[in-house]
Structure 1
């Protein structure tokens, strides 16, 4: 299996929805909204197994002070195959000049991000507001 990485914001909405739903993310119910979010992102790195979308990350950034990794997801069928690593390497390289990189991680995924220099901060609390109901 050869994974191809792409730097493009134009990704089929159905493919995006399927990937998010495979993760169990409620936002997968809004594929057109996800597609619009990709178009509005500063950078989108996607991972493909032939014509199947198997991984994705999106970043919002001002290009100098802050780069916010909005999400990184890999299809469950492809976990443990280095796809997340391939995406993170590309993101870290692209934003190496940006002073602060920020993300919000699920607790069980913190170790993954720590390998790329991310760490928790005891003086700041991530906060967000959702416009839809979900358990995650």
Structure 2
């Protein structure tokens, strides 16, 4: 299970692969219909695959011109700490840089403890004078 064996490929996971990854990292899940529509509206997706098992995933959402958001970078717990999340992020980062125009915004919301990895790609923490904000609609 070394990270060198794990391949990073451009593809959207199946609904069940995505739901399994979310559950494995402790994130709440959504209905299969919502997940399928959400995944299909991604701008770019990559899966980390070991043999035939999807062990990680990440994607880009946004308008494809001015705004890009790194979303859903997740790796199965048994595969964490092997650089797979970094490799997923690198592939996505390179994709966005290849199409972004001057003045493009590329943002993310990092999971607890993950900010330092994203800083390696040039992402900066928002200052207190520019707080990030969010609403979970109907979430419990």
TM-score norm. by structure 1 comes to: 0.86
Is this contact kept in 2: 1:16–1:35, CA < 8 A?
Answer: no
Equivalent in 15, 20, 23 of residue 22 of structure 2: 20
* 1:51-77 Cα distance to aligned partner (Å, 9 max, x none): 111111121133332211122111111
- Summarize the alignment of residues 42-53 of structure 1 with structure 2, pairs less than 5 Å apart: 42-53=43-54
- Once residues 78 and 6 of structure 1 are traced to their aligned partners in structure 2, the CA distance between those partners, rounded to angstroms, is 16
How far the C-alpha of 1:36 sits from its partner, in A, is: 2.3
Task: Say if 2:3 is the partner of 1:4.
Answer: no
Q: Which runs of 5+ in 2 are unaligned?
A: none
Q: 1:106 to 1:15 in 2, by over 3 A?
A: closer
- Once residues 68 and 35 of structure 2 are traced to their aligned partners in structure 1, the CA distance between those partners, rounded to angstroms, is 19
The size of the alignment, in residue pairs, is 131
TM-score norm. by structure 2 comes to: 0.83
Q: 1:41 to 1:62 in 2, by over 3 A?
A: same
- Summarize the alignment of residues 111-122 of structure 1 with structure 2, pairs less than 5 Å apart: 111-122=116-127
1:102 is aligned to: 107
Is this contact kept in 1: 2:59–2:92, CA < 8 A?
Answer: no
How far the C-alpha of 1:124 sits from its partner, in A, is: 2.1
How far the C-alpha of 1:107 sits from its partner, in A, is: 4.0
Q: 1:63 to 1:13 in 2, by over 3 A?
A: closer
Is this contact kept in 1: 2:48–2:54, CA < 8 A?
Answer: yes
